[in-house]
């Protein structure tokens, strides 16, 4: 059930919190965050409240506080707080009587608004209205406006605003040094130094009515504030606008202090409303091509889909090709801001089909991490590139060695995913292949793709063990996507993905030898491709690929089907607290059960939908879902896509509704440390790759819609060969309309019929 109210009008689509509920404080800080790809700011109140967790996260700004810790995305100084003091009483929601309350996020514009009417202990009734946004027009800019009106009597108002550098990552101070100063009695500046990087922040404030004298500036430890004192009349509105400019270490030298002051002066000249319009105009153009219009869906469903895309926009590092998307985007400290396989498998498809250049950037990030992948392979005795399970800005492994306690021994459990969960290396190759076959971007392959794919295939050959008795290659002591099943042999997902990786490498190497011999010879000198091709042929001939048994079930691994079934698994499926099973059983005990944290074989069926018959897919989805707790946010959307692909739309839609609620549900403990980035990408995939039936292979695009019964029609855009194509699906026809004529015709498959698309294409009669 969605916790927030939803509303739609000519100004946008809104998520609304109608009542102040401290239990949902941290969750709503996450859900209502403002992010623009360069930085993200949690939706904390202007004035402090108890148990809040303020946060600003700048893309790529990582630090290791101590030698034995891992790199983490830094929680940066707070630029949002505004202290309001009325007649010597400091305002706080916690200590005031709330007469009116409304907090709303416009998911189409990213503007957050907070409306309060409060009665202070001193008897003053005051209306406070604030709004803020992280600009898409200038991604270094954060704007905040606060309007204060005393309602029942005159009073003395003090406003304190500045930059608070005392923020920590869960109690750990990341910044080694912070320097603050004031320029021209107008601009507050802070330079914050990490071990290697630094962050520059400057802000200035505008008071309306005009505040003619200079404010009092206060320099505190790691903080700087400006203090404004005013006498205000009953019903007199005081407006306070704050403009913040943020630069990370890679860009600081490109803009000196005088330049920053000029930028802020321009902001003052334009004002909040003009800057908001500039920001909105950029988003309007993005929404033109990203918005999915569905006839027959509910407003809650439409809002949830737009919410997913709003945060997908906000997590993409638009300006830096050496960054990627973290598991929590830029909304919280969860997973320490690390990048997982989530990005390539769950998030990248949205960008691939809608903004393919951005998908390219995400893949370039993996190329720049090759040094770390090679080092990890060597550390574990393998060849090639073995990509880490968790990475930060560079390519080094960042997975912590230990995590939660063993409930029986009281000792910390070892985190085996960083040591044994290797499918990420194949996931990256899968994403690169999907990008290449969709865009035909040969320049990408020459600069990045071939190198990564070949080295990944070299790793998989070295990772496999040859079983002399069975005359087959096997992948032993591994973890698949299901992280509750550790130290198993021949995980189906991993084996098939390794096979795919080597198959693609072989195909590309043979093609490269023909079409660009010079490049092939250079790579052959570095990677011994001629020798590798022989190894890859042998691997492809002999790798063990689990097939359906007599009951049509694909064994998840060699031993899964022989393990005991947990009788009360439904209890853990319905439990609000994630991973509650680990409170009753140790991880070692869970490993010996037919219990899944998340989709595993089902993920295999999604990535290779034509590999097995619809009957096999259906049987496996049902079988494994009965054993899946869905403790991972990645799980529901995987089941949606698998079921939709085989026409089981009613079953798919039940999982879809659960996927929509993952961040917006009525569980106050969920999402407190950041949004579920991959799940949001999975929502988009459920709609487009699932219900709309979009997929592609080499030299063709397929559209095979299977709309839910309550959806009458839908339309959306895809970027095909640099041209945006509007795809309209109804029960009568499917129409593809190009914004401009394609340079060359594209092969389109609609169900079993093949077409050539260059301008407009109409497929009559949509069969349900």
Residue of 350, 180, 303, 385 whose CA lies nearest to 663: 303
The structure tokens listed for 757 are: 């698309």
- The torsion region of residue 117 among left (phi > 0), alpha (psi -120 to 50) and beta comes to beta
φ and ψ of 443, to 5 deg: -65, -40
Q: Is 649 helix (H, G, I), strand (E, B) or coil?
A: helix
Return the active site residues. Answer: 483
Identify which of 96, 97, 133 has the alpha carbon closest to the alpha carbon of residue 114: 133
How far apart (Å, rounded) are the C-alpha atoms in residues 287 and 306? Answer: 9
CA–CA dist 148, 211 (Å, integer): 15
Q: What is the SS3 assignment for 402-460?
A: EEEECCCCCCEEECCHHHHCCHHHHHHHHHHHHHHHHHCCHHHHHHHHHHHHHHHHHHH
- 450-463 helix and 517-527 helix, angle to the nearest 10 degrees: 40
Dihedrals phi, psi of 537, to nearest 5 degrees: -60, -45
Distance CA 112, CA 144 (A): 9
> What size, in residues, is the chain?
768
Cis bond upstream, residue 209 (ω within 30): yes
- Put residue 51 in one of left, alpha, beta given phi > 0 → left and psi -120 to 50 → alpha: left
Residue 699 CB-half CA count within 13 A? 1
* DSSP secondary structure code for residue 391 in this structure: B
Cα distance between residue 432 and residue 445, in whole Å: 9
Cα–Cα distance measured from residue 107 to residue 318, given in angstroms and rounded to the nearest whole number: 19
């Amino acid at each position: 059930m969605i916790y927030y109210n939803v509303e739609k009008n000519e100004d946008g689509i809104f998520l609304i919190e109608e009542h102040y509920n401290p239990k949902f404080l941290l969750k709503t800080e996450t859900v209502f965050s403002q992010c623009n790809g360069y930085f993200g700011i949690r939706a904390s109140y202007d004035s402090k409240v108890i148990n809040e967790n303020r946060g600003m996260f700048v893309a790529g700004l990582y630090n290791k506080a101590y030698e034995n810790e891992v790199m983490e995305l830094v929680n940066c100084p707070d630029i949002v707080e505004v202290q309001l003091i009325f007649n010597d009483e400091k305002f706080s929601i916690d200590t005031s009587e709330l007469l009116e309350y409304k907090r709303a996020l416009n998911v189409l514009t990213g503007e957050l608004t907070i409306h309060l009417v409060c009665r202070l202990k001193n008897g003053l009734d005051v209306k406070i209205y604030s709004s803020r946004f992280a600009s898409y027009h200038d991604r270094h800019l954060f704007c905040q406006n606060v309007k204060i009106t005393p309602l029942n009597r005159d009073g003395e108002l003090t406003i304190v605003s500045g930059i608070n550098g005392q923020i920590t990552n869960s109690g750990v101070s990341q910044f080694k040094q912070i320097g603050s100063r004031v320029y021209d009695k107008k601009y507050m500046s802070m330079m914050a130094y990490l071990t290697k990087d630094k962050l520059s922040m400057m802000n200035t404030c505008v008071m309306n009515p005009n505040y003619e004298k200079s404010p009092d500036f206060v320099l505190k430890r790691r903080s700087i504030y400006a203090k404004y004192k005013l006498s205000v009349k009953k019903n007199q509105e005081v407006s306070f606008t704050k403009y913040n400019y943020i630069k990370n270490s890679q860009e600081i030298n490109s803009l000196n202090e005088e330049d920053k002051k000029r930028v802020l002066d321009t902001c003052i000249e334009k004002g909040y409303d003009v800057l908001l319009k500039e920001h909105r105009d950029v988003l309007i153009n993005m929404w033109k091509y990203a918005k999915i219009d569905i006839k027959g869906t509910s407003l809650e469903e439409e809002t949830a889909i737009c919410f997913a895309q709003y945060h997908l926009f906000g997590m993409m590092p638009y300006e830096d090709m050496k960054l990627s998307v973290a598991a929590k985007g830029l909304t919280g400290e969860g997973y320490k801001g690390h990048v997982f396989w989530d990005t390539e498998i769950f998030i990248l498809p949205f960008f691939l089909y809608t903004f393919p250049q951005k998908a390219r950037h995400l893949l370039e990030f993996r190329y720049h991490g090759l040094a770390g992948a090679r080092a990890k392979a060597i550390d574990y005795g393998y060849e090639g590139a073995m990509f880490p399970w968790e990475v930060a800005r560079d390519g080094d492994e960042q997975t912590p060695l230990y995590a939660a306690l063993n409930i029986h021994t009281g000792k910390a459990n070892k985190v085996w995913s960083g040591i044994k969960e290797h499918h990420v290396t194949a996931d990256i190759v899968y994403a690169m292949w999907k990008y290449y076959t969709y865009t035909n971007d040969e320049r990408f392959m020459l600069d990045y793709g071939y190198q990564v794919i070949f080295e990944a295939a070299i790793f998989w050959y070295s990772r496999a063990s040859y079983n002399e008795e069975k005359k087959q290659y096997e992948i032993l002591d591994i973890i698949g996507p299901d992280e509750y099943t550790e130290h198993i042999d021949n995980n189906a997902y991993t084996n098939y993905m390794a096979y795919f990786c080597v198959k693609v490498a072989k195909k590309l190497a043979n093609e490269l030898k023909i079409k660009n011999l010079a490049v092939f010879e250079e790579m052959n000198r570095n990677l011994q491709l001629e020798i590798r091709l022989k190894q890859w042929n042998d691997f492809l001939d002999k790798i063990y690929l689990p097939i359906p048994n007599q009951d049509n079930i694909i064994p998840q691994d060699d031993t899964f089907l022989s393990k005991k079934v947990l009788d009360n698994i439904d209890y853990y499926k319905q439990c609000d607290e994630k991973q509650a099973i680990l409170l009753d059983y140790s991880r070692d005990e869970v490993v010996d059960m037919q219990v899944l944290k998340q989709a595993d074989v089902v993920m295999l069926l999604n990535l290779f939908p034509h590999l097995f018959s619809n009957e096999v897919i259906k049987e496996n989805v049902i079988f494994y879902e009965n054993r899946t707790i869905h403790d991972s946010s990645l799980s529901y959307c995987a089941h949606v896509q698998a079921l939709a692909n085989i026409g089981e739309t009613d079953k798919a839609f039940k999982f879809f509704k659960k996927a929509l609620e993952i961040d917006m549900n009525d569980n106050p403990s969920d999402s407190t440390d950041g949004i579920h980035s991959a799940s949001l990408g999975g929502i988009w995939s459920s709609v487009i790759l699932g219900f709309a039936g979009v997929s592609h292979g080499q030299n063709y695009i397929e559209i095979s819609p299977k709309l839910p019964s309550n959806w009458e029609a839908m339309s959306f855009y895809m970027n095909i060969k640099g041209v945006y194509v509007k795809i309209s699906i109804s029960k009568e026809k499917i129409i593809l309309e190009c914004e401009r004529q394609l340079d060359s015709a594209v092969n389109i498959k609609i169900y079993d019929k093949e077409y050539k698309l260059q301008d407009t294409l109409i497929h009559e009669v949509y069969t349900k």
